[in-house]
Amino acid sequence: MMDNLKAHKVAEVQEILADAGVTVVYLPPYSPEFNPIEHFWWELKAFVRRFRPKDQDSIETLVELGILLNLSDYRKHYFTHCCYCPS
């Protein structure tokens, strides 16, 4: 599942995916609500904002922590939210 970024549609990427036997499903244009990774980014940004970091080091630490927490707890949630798997 990919969005319509031009880089996803270049011949080299298409060839790599085809060689790996991957079936690509493109999301509708301008539909971030259907893209599970967008939900992850929204939640990560909200997580970082809650702590009101004051410097670059704090931001980086919060991003790393947010990634660890979100990836371990909510992976399926993003797909369920986009209606790609049962809840």
The count of structural domains within the chain is: 2
- Looking at the fold, whether 82 and 67 belong to one and the same domain comes out as yes
CB atoms within 10 A of CB 82: 19
pLDDT in tens, 18-74: 999 999 889 898 888 888 888 888 889 999 999 999 999 999 999 999 988 876 556
∠ CA 44-81-60, nearest 5°, is: 10
Instruction: Tell me how far apart the alpha carbons of residues 72 and 74 are, in angstroms, rounded to a whole number.
Output: 6
- Looking at the fold, whether 50 and 80 belong to one and the same domain comes out as yes
The pLDDT confidence band at residue 84, using thresholds 50, 70 and 90, is low
- Looking at the fold, whether 57 and 43 belong to one and the same domain comes out as yes
The pLDDT score that the predictor gives to residue 81 is 63
Domain that residue 4 falls in: 1-30
- Is there a contact between 74 and 36 (Cβ–Cβ < 8 Å)? no
